[in-house]
Amino acid sequence: MKQNRIVNLLTERSYGKVVEVSGWVRTRRGSGQLSFLEISDGSSMSNLQVVAEQNLANYQSEVCKLTTGCAVMVIGELIKSPAKGQEIELKAHELTVLGWADPEKYPLQKKRHGFEFLRSITHLRPRTNALAAVARIRSELNFAIHHFFKKQGFFQVHTPLITTSDCEGAGEMFTVTGLAPEKITSNASYANDFFGRRAGLTVSGQLQAEVYAMAMGRVYTFGPTFRAENSNTSRHLAEFWMLEPEIAFCDLAGNISLAEEMVKELISVVLHECTEEIDLFDRFVSKGLRDRLTMTVDNSFVQMTYSEAINELLRAKQKFEYEVEWGVDLQAEHERYLCEEVAQGVLVVTDYPKDIKPFYMRQNDDGKTVAAMDILVPDIGELIGGSQREERYDRLLAAMLESGLDPEDNRWYLDLRRYGSVVHSGYGLGFERFIQYVTGMSNIRDVIPFPRTPGSAPC
Ligand code: 4AD
Ligand code: MG
């Protein structure tokens, strides 16, 4: 007999059909004669109700002893449910217990647990409604991203995880070494190490994506990135996923348009494909979520320059912890004020001071700012960071030297400006921050299956 997924049984509603289904017991209620089991197989938010009666051979010996978390296989007939609460139920002809879960020990007994507690059982938390819903939305978004870029004529490029260039220049690269732990001494030299020079885990695939954009026009890279950043906040991870398109013959305005179109399409997909999940988050995690997401899709993103943003902050009645003046980097509190109070929605801030942005961003004619863009969203702050790239050889070389980069080590990157250089742009979307935005989950540790943060890497 074919293994069925509950999501299909619930939508197809083939009343009268005898089917086999396997899953985990969410709840059991009943008596010595009759039991109602809520079964989940993870395929959807909704469970399948199984009705088991005392005529089953193992009714008293096993069915009556089933508790939350036990795994079962049921063969039975799909019938129209006579009771309220579900359209369809499965009348069991045969029920096999596949795996017991001792109710004295299994930690997921209560219906609702706090996310902080669930973080202490990373290996069991996907069995809860909320974490499974996050995982389904994450998977849906993953496919939607590839679909969106394929439609737009992009090619996916697999950029390396081990690299010798610190793209963002923030000194947050984890070192990768082939040296045995006892050989790592203060006088050990990278020259004698595996790659012959210092290598690390990538902080961004951008620089390598640029190589392929300069050959194939439109590319994107999407994968894990790593930052040894000691930020213990609800929006930082040491390992997170980043989506980075890189587009030749495209300036900052084109870059912003693509990002806006992409964000809107991805949200629309989730609103259409994950309705039950969005309902759950709207009801229990972030009231009004669906309306806010719909507003994001329906309205144009507000845009302002960094200088305008600073003026807004200087005019604000609110007191900020970090002082505001032209030249400072925007802190989360500033970003949130600008989105929530000024733009009342998504905000694109452009043309940041060059001193607070990486070397590769294109210098504006004022000599003080670069063609950068950050996309900020309420509650989270920075969701996307991007720019037009410096395509002029001399300017790029000067910016590299100013940032303390050795041009010899980055000859390959400079070469892109020596041979057929063109205007080009790109951006990076923090995938987990985007999932936070779409689900309303307040802590980034709850939207990645296995969070890595300072002092913590369970599983
Ligand atoms: O602004 P960032 O540092 O930009 C880059 O790395 C560029 N090279 C991207 C590009 O132009 N191709 O990072 C991009 C985004 C941020 O806006 C944020 O959403 C996310 O990545 N991000 C993090 N997400 C989780 N944890 C962290 N520690 C993050 N650091 C950045
Ligand atoms: Mg940034």
Q: Give the DSSP letter string of 393-440.
A: HHHHHHHHHHTT--TTTTHHHHHTTTSS---EEEEEEEHHHHHHHHH-
- Residues ≥6 apart with Cβ < 8 Å to 212: 155, 157, 219, 246
Residue 27 pairs with which residues in a beta bridge?
38
- Residues ≥6 apart with Cβ < 8 Å to 351: 305, 306, 307, 364, 369, 370, 371, 372
Residues 266 and 390 in one domain: yes
Which pLDDT belongs to residue 458?
85
Residue 82's domain comprises 3-106
Q: How far is the CA of 245 from the centre of ligand 2 (A)?
A: 15
Position 451 in a domain: no
Q: Ligand 1 pocket: which residues have CB below 6 Å?
A: 167-168, 204, 206, 227, 229, 236-237, 240, 242, 244, 382-386, 426-428, 430, 432-433
Which stretches of 59-104 are assigned E, i.e. beta strand? 71-80, 88-99
Which pLDDT belongs to residue 122?
96
Q: Closest ligand 1 atom to the C-alpha of 229?
A: 28
Q: Which of 164, 135, 139, 130 is nearest to 289 (CA)?
A: 130
Which stretches of 175-269 are assigned E, i.e. beta strand? 175-176, 199-201, 218-226, 239-248
Distance CA 168, CA 230 (A): 16
CATH code of residue 340: 3.30.930.10
Distance CA 427, CA 58 (A): 59
Last-in-domain residue among 77, 106, 135:
106
Q: Which of 239, 228, 162, 225 is nearest to 193 (CA)?
A: 162
- Atom 2 (ligand 1): residue with closest C-alpha? 385
- Atom 21 (ligand 1): residue with closest C-alpha? 430
Half-sphere exposure of 60 (CA within 13 A, CB side): 2
Residues 163 and 94 in one domain: no
Half-sphere exposure of 367 (CA within 13 A, CB side): 0
Which pLDDT belongs to residue 1?
73
Q: Closest ligand 1 atom to the C-alpha of 386?
A: 11
Which pLDDT belongs to residue 396?
98
**CB-CB neighbours of 322 under 10 Å:** 12
- Atom 31 (ligand 1): residue with closest C-alpha? 430
Residue ranges for the chain with pLDDT beneath 50: none
Q: Which of 122, 226, 139, 128 is nearest to 451 (CA)?
A: 122
pLDDT in tens, 53-70: 999 999 999 999 999 999
Residues 215 and 96 in one domain: no
Residue with tokens 């219906």: 111
Position 116 in a domain: no
Distance CA 430, CA 385 (A): 9
Please tell me the number of the ligand nearest to residue 165's CA. Answer: 1
Q: Closest ligand 1 atom to the C-alpha of 246?
A: 12
Residues 101 and 138 in one domain: no
Residues 283 and 327 in one domain: yes
Distance CA 96, CA 71 (A): 9
Q: Closest ligand 1 atom to the C-alpha of 227?
A: 28
**CB-CB neighbours of 255 under 10 Å:** 25
CB-based contact 220:157 (threshold 8 Å): yes
Strand pairing of 48-53 and 88-99?
parallel
CA angle 152, 167, 416 (to 5 degrees): 65
Which pLDDT belongs to residue 193?
93
DSSP state of 22: E
Q: How far is the CA of 275 from the centre of ligand 1 (A)?
A: 29
> Pocket of ligand 1, candidates 243, 335, 357, 382: which has the most ligand atoms within 8 Å of its Cβ, to mutate?
382
- Atom 30 (ligand 1): residue with closest C-alpha? 236
Backbone conformation region of residue 161, classed left if phi is above 0, alpha if psi is from -120 to 50, else beta: alpha
pLDDT in tens, 290-316: 999 999 999 999 999 999 999 999 999
Residues 272 and 348 in one domain: yes
DSSP state of 206: H
- The token pair at 196 is 């012959």
Amino acid present at 153? G
- Atom 25 (ligand 1): residue with closest C-alpha? 236
Position 114 in a domain: no
CATH code of residue 37: 2.40.50.140
> Pocket of ligand 1, candidates 240, 255, 362: which has the most ligand atoms within 8 Å of its Cβ, to mutate?
240
Distance CA 92, CA 439 (A): 36
Residues 304 and 381 in one domain: yes
Position 361 in a domain: yes
Residues 232 and 375 in one domain: yes
Residues 54 and 144 in one domain: no
Which pLDDT belongs to residue 215?
98
Q: How far is the CA of 42 from the centre of ligand 2 (A)?
A: 35
**CB-CB neighbours of 182 under 10 Å:** 6
Distance CA 449, CA 284 (A): 20
Q: How far is the CA of 222 from the centre of ligand 1 (A)?
A: 12
Which pLDDT belongs to residue 187?
81
Residues 45 and 161 in one domain: no
Domain count across the chain: 2
3-state secondary structure of 18: strand
Amino acid present at 323? E
Count of residues making up the chain: 459
Rounded alpha-carbon distances, angstroms, from residue 179 to 16, 302, 376:
65, 50, 41
- Atom 24 (ligand 1): residue with closest C-alpha? 430
3-state secondary structure of 386: strand
Last-in-domain residue among 48, 75, 106:
106
109 alpha-carbon distance from chain centroid: 28
Residues 289 and 163 in one domain: yes
Q: How far is the CA of 242 from the centre of ligand 1 (A)?
A: 7
